[in-house]
Structure 1
Amino acid sequence: MYDQILFPTDGSQGASVVFDHVLDIAAEHGATVHVLNVADPALVFQPQKDLLDALEQEGEAFVRDAADRARKRGVETVTEVQKGEPYSTIVDYAASQDVDLVVMPTHGRRGLERFLLGSTTERVLRRSDVPVLTIRPDDDGTITYPYQTVLAPTDGSTCAQEAIETAADVTTATRATLHLLTVVDIASLGIDVRSDIQVAQLEEAADAILDDATAVAETAGVEPAAETVEYGPSIHEGILSYIEDHDVDLVVVGTHGRTGFDRYVLGSVTEYLVRTSPIPVLTVREPSSNA
């Protein structure tokens, strides 16, 4: 499934934890890992060659250490240190190297010389045409690969369908089970759900979304193990609750979706999940040509 994996790193402890998962994925698929460090000139108050050189030298040490760890696992690497704005450099590198997957921690170090922060990760996942796997760096080591249970929340949007197709690919490659979920955010709809007619409308819309999602998964060759509609005070809480209740190992979501009466997930919900999910989150952006 994966031939080329990109791992941007700032050398932080969080990045080190995430890199363990990268190596697990690469070893399973025989993938090459591109280890990229981006030295951001904007972090130097007065652009001076010696300070920029110091950033690059530090970056060289980061990628060299990562390559050494990969070598011990039998994983092939390509190392690169570049100067520029981190998020755009990462996105451009992924596109130019035909990368299949970008893997990033949800946050990194802070300070003058530490630049791979949460804001960078969020910018990458909003703009990357390549799927982005984000992992909280405070993971306690319970995240394993291959995954056993994969969750794909959906709102019926084209972007969500792209995410379901990706989730189906992951379940096939890892021999996992696929769960489909749509969550109705009662509070945000601003309607009186005590009406039987209104409840029926919500149920009908949610069932239609799940039917479409199931069709997408089956076309991709995967029979979903579960198709669930949940009602709750918020979308992200419903997804997090489902993750906990069903021992989900990976959640796959689109980076944006529809809005309106019966369209309610993705977008800001995805960003919230990236920050708070206890498990890896794989984000999929609708290709630019289709956006």
Structure 2
Amino acid sequence: MVLATDGSDNAVRAADHALYLADAFDANLHVVSAAGVPEGTLARLADSVRASTAVEAEEAVGAVTRKALVTGTPTTTAVIDGPPARVVVEAGRDADLLVVGRHGHTGVGRFLVGSVTERVLDDPPTATLVVPAEADTEPAYETIALLADDSPAGRTAATTAITIARATGAKLDPLAVVDNRFSDAPGLRRALEGEARGLIKEIAVEAARGVVESTGTVRTGVPAAELLDYIDEVGADLVVVGSDASRSLDRHVATSVARRVVRRASVPVLVVSKPTGAR
């Protein structure tokens, strides 16, 4: 498990959730922070900026290490010189989970976690948990919302959500949305609603095998908007969504479903990519 941090308040919140999940899965946590010179920095200032960001990065990973000592989480750290998006993506490639804060607004010259999160989500190196500033400081996942979707990423997201629910003792609440922008014909809409109900049942069966309680519902509307409403209705502590979560949309539009939820949700959002080799 990898946590990317810049020491901002939002990154500290991300650390709380990374430590919570590391404890739930008895996992090691690798903490990384990027140090280097931001694009556009004047050449004459490069050395001083690099030194400053290196110090701040060391302080950021050190703060997480101190938290980990309290929780007893095995932790390693690394401060890496390079563009933050590249540093974060490379660090996450061999991880089962990458954890980042949604925003990291700090002083001039700092590499902001939030500024690279969108770039990381362009092509997530692994399952990526994006934690907003509003997230609980003492996480305890009791309800997990899932955007149910019959795509490779959607199937992987469902399995991942069930795995987390089993580890944390949470209930799973999947939501399948028939996109009304692409299903105007009554016959097509009925067919898609039938498929969606079938998918909810399949997820419930898979969840039951893992001794996880799963209910669910089917709605018609715009997927991101419906999911955001659903999060509030069920009181979700975590949301899981596939990175191309919509059968009816092309990849770029579908990825925007995950992006919109990440930007607006007040709880952590786990963005899951399709498995390697899936089409």
How far residue 264 of structure 1 moved from its aligned partner, in angstroms, is: 12
The aligned amino acid for 1:282 is: L
Q: Would the aligned equivalents of 1:182 and 1:230 in 2 still touch at CA under 8 Å?
A: yes
Percent identity for Structure 1 against Structure 2: 31
How far residue 104 of structure 1 moved from its aligned partner, in angstroms, is: 0.9
* 1:13-28 to 2 correspondences below 5 Å: 13-28=9-24
Cα–Cα, structure 1 residues 49 and 76, in superposed 2: closer, same or farther, change >3 Å?
same
The TM-score normalised by the length of structure 2 is 0.87
Q: Would the aligned equivalents of 1:39 and 1:59 in 2 still touch at CA under 8 Å?
A: yes
- Aligned mate of 2:139, from 137, 144, 158: 144
Cα–Cα, structure 1 residues 264 and 53, in superposed 2: closer, same or farther, change >3 Å?
closer
Q: Partners in 2 of 1:140 and 1:283 — Cα distance? A: 19
Confirm or deny that 1:272 pairs with 2:260: yes
- Aligned mate of 1:159, from 153, 162, 168: 153
Q: Partners in 1 of 2:126 and 2:108 — Cα distance? A: 29
How far residue 190 of structure 1 moved from its aligned partner, in angstroms, is: 7.5
Confirm or deny that 1:35 pairs with 2:23: no
Partner of 1:230: 219
Q: Deviations over 1:203-230 (max 9, x none)?
A: 3212213423543563462466223111
Cα–Cα, structure 1 residues 104 and 52, in superposed 2: closer, same or farther, change >3 Å?
same
The aligned amino acid for 2:108 is: L
Q: Partners in 2 of 1:244 and 1:123 — Cα distance? A: 27
Confirm or deny that 1:109 pairs with 2:105: yes
Q: Partners in 2 of 1:162 and 1:217 — Cα distance? A: 15
Structure 1 residue runs without a partner (length 5+): 192-197
How far residue 152 of structure 1 moved from its aligned partner, in angstroms, is: 1.4
Q: Partners in 2 of 1:126 and 1:224 — Cα distance? A: 32
Q: Deviations over 1:239-270 (max 9, x none)?
A: 11111111122111111144548999841111
Cα–Cα, structure 1 residues 131 and 23, in superposed 2: closer, same or farther, change >3 Å?
same
Q: Would the aligned equivalents of 1:185 and 1:264 in 2 still touch at CA under 8 Å?
A: no
Q: Please identify runs of 4+ aligned residues in structure 1 that moved more than 6 A.
A: 261-265
Q: Would the aligned equivalents of 1:257 and 1:264 in 2 still touch at CA under 8 Å?
A: no
How far residue 162 of structure 1 moved from its aligned partner, in angstroms, is: 1.1
Q: Partners in 2 of 1:9 and 1:174 — Cα distance? A: 24
How far residue 90 of structure 1 moved from its aligned partner, in angstroms, is: 1.2
Q: Partners in 2 of 1:211 and 1:224 — Cα distance? A: 17
Q: Would the aligned equivalents of 1:106 and 1:121 in 2 still touch at CA under 8 Å?
A: yes
Cα–Cα, structure 1 residues 129 and 24, in superposed 2: closer, same or farther, change >3 Å?
same
Which deviates more, 257-266 or 72-81? 257-266
Give the match's secondary structure for 1:42: coil
Cα–Cα, structure 1 residues 216 and 182, in superposed 2: closer, same or farther, change >3 Å?
closer
How far residue 231 of structure 1 moved from its aligned partner, in angstroms, is: 2.1
The aligned amino acid for 2:164 is: V
The aligned amino acid for 2:139 is: T
Partner of 2:120: 124
Q: Would the aligned equivalents of 2:53 and 2:110 in 1 still touch at CA under 8 Å?
A: no
Give the match's secondary structure for 2:277: helix
Cα–Cα, structure 1 residues 114 and 138, in superposed 2: closer, same or farther, change >3 Å?
farther
Q: Deviations over 1:166-203 (max 9, x none)?
A: 111112222222222112333x2383xxxxxx334313
Partner of 2:232: 244
CA RMSD of aligned residues (A): 2.7
Give the match's secondary structure for 2:95: coil
Confirm or deny that 1:212 pairs with 2:216: no
Partner of 2:47: 49
Q: Partners in 2 of 1:262 and 1:86 — Cα distance? A: 28
Q: Partners in 2 of 1:229 and 1:114 — Cα distance? A: 44
Q: Would the aligned equivalents of 2:173 and 2:216 in 1 still touch at CA under 8 Å?
A: yes
- Aligned mate of 1:172, from 166, 189, 194: 166
Q: Would the aligned equivalents of 2:204 and 2:215 in 1 still touch at CA under 8 Å?
A: no
